[in-house]
Amino acid sequence: MTHAALQGGFADAPIASAHAFRAALAALSQPGTLHQVVGAEPPAPMSVAAGVLLLTLVDATTPLHLAGAHDCQTLRDWITFHTGAPLVSADAAAFALGTWQALRPLDRFGAGLPDYPDRGCTLIVEMPVITASGARLTGPGIAREAHLSLPEVAAFAANHARFPLGFDAFLTAGATIAGLPRSTKVEAA
Amino acid sequence: MTDQAYNFAYLDEQTKRMIRRAILKGVAVPGYQVPFASREMPMPYGWGTGGVQLTAACLTPDDRLKVIDQGADDTTNAVSIRKFFQRVAGVAVTEATTEATLIQTRHRIPDTPLRVGQILVYQVPIPEPLRFLEPREAETRKMHELEDYGLMHVKLYEDIARHGQIATAYAYPVKVEGRYVMDPSPIPKFDNPKLSGSPALQLFGAGREQRIYALPPFTHVVSLDFEDHPFVASKADHACDLCAATDSYLDEVIIDDDGGRMFVCSDTDYCGGRRAAGYVGRLGGQA
Amino acid sequence: MYVAVKGGERAIDNAHAWLASERRGDTALAELSIAQIREQLTLAVNRVMAEGSLYDPDLAALAIKQARGDLIEAIFLIRAYRTTLPRLGASVPVDTAKMAVVRRISATFKDLPGGQVLGPTFDYTHRLLDFKLAAECAPETPATAPPDPAAVPHVTDFLNRDGLIEVNPQSAAPPSDLTRAPMELPASRALRLQALTRGDEGFILSMAYSTQRGYGRTHAFVGELRIGLVAVEMEIPELGFAVQIGEVELTECDSVNQFKGSKTEPPQFTRGYGLVFGQTERKSIAMSLVDRSLRWAELGEENTGAPAQDEEFVLMHADNIQATGFLEHIKLPHYVDFQAELELVRKLRAEAYAQQEAAE
């Protein structure tokens, strides 16, 4: 384990994770809104936002899947040191991290059980940039409609179609997060 | 001042993470009851441990907390819970609904409209709306899975057959986004319409029963009814005797040995605000 | 004139001060020390440790003092404290065959290796109030014998040798933890045993008693009851082996129960198991009966609808902290709910009168 793996965690975990959780909660409960987070400085290629989400939400009880370029030794070490999350294959993951391209195909991830839909996976999708434009979003958390620069429409539309089963997603870019729960109806703008 | 003997907001970080994950899944599947490993809190089960755990998992030092029980900030259990968070989280508190960022409530939705960015945390005794029709968890879980809510409709229909109307005055069941039937906690049915389309995020916590569920802002919530017996949000047919409000939920207070009574807003902040603005009810001048 | 109910905070503070003074009682009398409670009210301390799920006699004694002897309140204090403790790790399973027994009896064999050890039991005391205890008096010095270093094998192992009793399932899988994951039904036997060992003694006792009276018969004998200290060991990753970190007193009960056998298995006895912190004999025996009763499906027995066969009923109602909290919460104000019902009943009555009048 390198020195870098020990750096970049929350300075004051109870306070930093409280702020980060509220940002995540606002993002997921109001799809299409963008939120800034701070406090984590993970090694590349992970964004600050993804790092903050991991420090806030995962631990030894939450299996995590790293996809594509995010599945590298530097990140594995960093995540293991700071969270203790077991690193697992896609089908066993409670959380998954990677670019959209790397996360696909999405049917690898758990969608929950008909009697326990909460067991669906949470995807953290690393994006170059996130804007409140693009795909049209309607549903819980949205007064009329919202827009979000999703990497793709069809996959999210299909995910919503199997509600209450499905995955839930956070989009991350730099220090920005946005949320897209399975309850959101997604259409091309 | 925060009590240094305890972690911020009392719960340890691992417990908060577990609760936070459950809250996010609750938000993602509105109205569905997410099981969570409720912890033993330093107040009794049934006294708001579910709500307290939600509040503890959500609070930041920037929050301004309001706690109400039966609509009032000064009922003993509301005072006790507010004091707890002042002690373990050092959080600012308020009685003003408009100033609060997080409101923990038992049995009421404030009469002052909520806004985007506010969180309303409900204390829930029995989260399962079907529980008194079917006591077994294995059975009710199946009913939710299959969207089999026939039992609930039969119960409501039996009410109509016996009483001529649906005889449920509080904890009146609702359907969320056309999918899950949900218990709104024991709020009077007068409050039910406020559940739907609320700009605030609504979180429900049942500690003893180990369940968390949520209504994101602007979620469509419908009180169960029948076409020929539509839902009616009723309250005492009076105006508040202190502030003259006709749109607030009222408590009935016995004021003498001859059965004399008065009606006053259950939402003490709402009533106080109106009186401060100059509204005077039937007995308001003498109070 | 109506005055809004203000001053909740002051009322609470005053109530707490009054409570503290009542707890202390007459200050002319010496105050109870934690050590006195720990040493002289040991069985109360044991119950608080068992149902509080925390092995710490001093803390349990403190809780009993603070709770004015209300054991459920004391258990609550311990549970709430326990929740805040960090988890440093898990011990390796304790080996009760290596227990240093102070009491060990079997109802199934007259004598057996290791012997019958009566130990400090109430069993054959005549329940006559001992008025000598009303005054301070030193007890007689009990007879002692040198400790026997030989291990005391489990009675059920003798039966096991001949295949007369079912083999306990062995598993290296870590059991789920009732206090860290929400209860999911049907529950594993490990989870059921956790719920029973911290369940209310009175509830578990009554459930067990009901099986003896025919509500899901268990036909149980005490195969063995043993009480004593066992070593608690923990694997230290840096060392690569387990080291002893302390010892705990446990009461273990193996009940031996009838079993008719099936097409694939010849008849053999079955087991019920009880393991509880401290000297907690009644609880441990009761636990083993309820455990056995809840195993009806696994053993291919008939579900007679008995309460003690109903896993959800037993597990969801065994915890006295959950039960007392919810029971007592009806003391809290319910003005709002009551008002809603009041309006409804008035409306229904008005409609009923109107209908009567219309009919007359």
Please check whether residue A121 is in contact with residue A93, taking contact to mean a CB–CB distance below 8 angstroms: yes
**In this structure, are C21 and C51 located in the same domain?**
yes
Does residue B240 carry a catalytic annotation? yes
d(CA B131, CA B55): 25
Task: Determine the residue among A35, A183, A184 to mutate to test chain B binding: the one whose Cβ has the most chain B Cβ atoms within 10 Å.
Answer: A183
Total of domains in chain C: 2
User: Is C64 found in the same domain as C185?
Assistant: no
For C150-168, what is the mean pLDDT? 83
C-beta atoms of C343 and B236 within 8 A:
yes
The answer to whether residue C300 is domain-embedded is yes
Q: How many CA atoms lie within 13 A of B141 on its CB side?
A: 16
Name residues 5-34 of chain B within 8 A of A (Cβ).
7-9, 13-14, 16-18, 20-30, 32, 34
Write the pLDDT tens digit of every residue in C66-84.
999 999 999 999 999 998 8
- What is the structure's pLDDT at C9? 79
* Contact status of C198 with chain B (Cβ, < 8 Å): no
Q: Which chains touch B (3 or more CB pairs under 8 A)?
A: A, C
The DSSP bridge partners found for residue C248 are: C230
Residues from chain C that touch B39, judged by Cβ atoms under 8 A, are 83, 179
Position C173 in a domain:
no
How far from chain centre, in Å, is Cα A109? 13
Say whether pTM exceeds 0.80.
Answer: yes
Amino acid A89 reads S
**Cβ count near C248 (within 10 Å):** 14
- More confidently predicted of B235 and B246: B246
Tokens of residue B71, six digits: 């609509």
Query: Which pLDDT does position A89 carry in this prediction?
Result: 97
pLDDT at C144: 80
Rounded to 5, what percent of chain B is helix, strand, coil?
Answer: 30, 20, 50
pLDDT number for residue C2: 39
C-interface mutation test, from B10, B19, B70, most C Cβ less than 10 A away = B70
More confident residue, B161 or B89: B89
Q: What is the distance between the alpha carbons of residues B248 and C61, in angstroms, rounded to a whole number?
A: 50
Residue B165 has pLDDT above 70, yes or no: yes
User: What pLDDT shows up at residue C3?
Assistant: 38
Rounded-to-integer distance, Cα B270 and Cα B254, Å: 21
The CATH architecture that domain A3-187 belongs to is 3-Layer(aba) Sandwich (3.40)
Give percent helix, percent strand, percent coil of chain C, each to the nearest 5. Answer: 45, 15, 45
Q: A56 vs B214: CB contact, 8 Å cut-off? A: no
pLDDT at C45: 98
- SS3 category, B165: coil
Residue among B99, B220, B219 nearest A30 (CA): B219
Domain ranges (residues) in chain A: 3-187
Residue C147: exposure state from Cβ atoms within 10 A (0-12, 13-18, ≥19): exposed
The two tokens of residue B251 are 């408590």
Chain B touched by C16 (CB under 8 Å): no
Model confidence at C149, pLDDT cuts 50, 70, 90, reads confident
In a domain? residue C103: yes
Q: In angstroms, what is the C-alpha Rg of chain A?
A: 16
Contact in structure between B17 and C298 (CB atoms under 8 Å): no
Chains with ≥3 CB–CB distances under 8 Å to A? B
Question: B211: Cβ–Cβ under 8 A, 6 or more apart, which residues?
Answer: B33, B34, B35, B36, B50, B124, B127, B128, B204, B205
Could you give the maximum distance between any two Cα atoms of chain B, in Å? 59
Q: How far apart are CA B7 and CA B57, in angstroms?
A: 12
**What percentage of chain C carries pLDDT values higher than 90?**
57
Contact in structure between B9 and B16 (CB atoms under 8 Å): yes
From B31, B51, B205, B207, the catalytic residue: B31
Residues C40 and C68 in one domain: yes
**B200-214, C77-91, C161-175, C247-261: least confidently modelled range:** C161-175
What CA–CA distances, in Å, run from C104 to A122, B282, C226? 53, 77, 4
pLDDT per position as a tens digit, B167-182? 899 999 999 999 999 9
CA C71 – CA B9 distance, rounded (Å): 28
| Residue of A104, A151, A97, A86 lying closest to A124 (CA atoms) | A97
**Residue whose tokens read 């029995």:** B126
Decide if pLDDT at B1 tops 60.
Answer: no
Nearest to A114 among B18, B145, B179 (CB): B145
The pLDDT mean for chain B works out to 93
Range of the structural domain that residue C74 is part of? 10-82
Residues C332, B249: C-beta atoms closer than 8 Å = no
pLDDT score at B209: 94
Chain-centroid distance of CA A12 in Å reads 22
User: What are the φ/ψ torsions at residue B250 (nearest 5 degrees)?
Assistant: -115, 140
Q: So what's the pLDDT on residue C6? A: 54
Mutate to test the interface with B, among A25, A52, A159 (most CBs of B within 10 A): A25
What type of residue is A49? A
pLDDT digits (tens, 9 = 90+) for B3-40: 667 889 999 999 999 999 999 999 999 999 999 999 98
**Higher local confidence (pLDDT), B111 or C11:** B111
Nearest CA in chain B to C310: B136
Please provide the average confidence, as pLDDT, over all residues in chain C: 90
B190: which 2 tokens? 């007068």
Residue with tokens 């959500």: B58
Cα–Cα distances in Å, from B276 out to A30, B37, B240, C233?
A: 35, 44, 14, 67
pLDDT for residue C4 is more than 60: no
pLDDT digit string, tens, across residues A50-61: 999 999 999 999
Cα dihedral sign, B287-C3-C4-C9: positive
**What pLDDT was estimated at residue B4?**
65
DSSP element (H, E) containing A53:
helix A48-57
Q: Tens digit of pLDDT for each residue in C28-60?
A: 999 999 999 999 999 999 999 999 999 999 999
Name which of B132, B129, B233, B220 is nearest B183 in CA terms. Answer: B129
Q: Is C182 on the interface with B (CB under 8 A)?
A: yes
Pairing of strands B64-69, B92-93: parallel
How many residues does this entry show for chain C? 360
- A176-180 and A168-173 strand pairing: antiparallel
- Whether C138 is in a domain gets the answer no
**Interchain contact B135–A (C-beta under 8 A):** no
Same domain, C235 and C304: yes
Question: What's the pLDDT at C5?
Answer: 46
> H or E element: which one contains B229?
none
d(CA B45, CA B49): 6
Cα Rg of chain C (Å, integer): 26
- % of chain B with per-residue pLDDT over 70: 98
Residues 6+ apart with CB under 8 A from B280: B242, B243, B244
pLDDT value, residue C174: 84
Nearest CA in chain B to A15: B60
Quick check: B90 pLDDT over 90? Answer: yes
Asked if residue C156 and residue C298 are part of one domain, the reply reads yes
- Asked whether A180 and A171 are in contact (CB, 8 A), the reply is yes
Per residue of chain A (189 residues), what is the pLDDT tens digit? 667 788 899 999 999 999 999 999 999 999 999 999 999 999 999 999 999 999 999 999 999 999 999 999 999 999 999 999 999 999 999 999 999 999 999 999 999 999 999 999 999 999 999 999 999 999 999 999 999 999 999 999 999 999 999 999 999 999 999 999 999 999 998
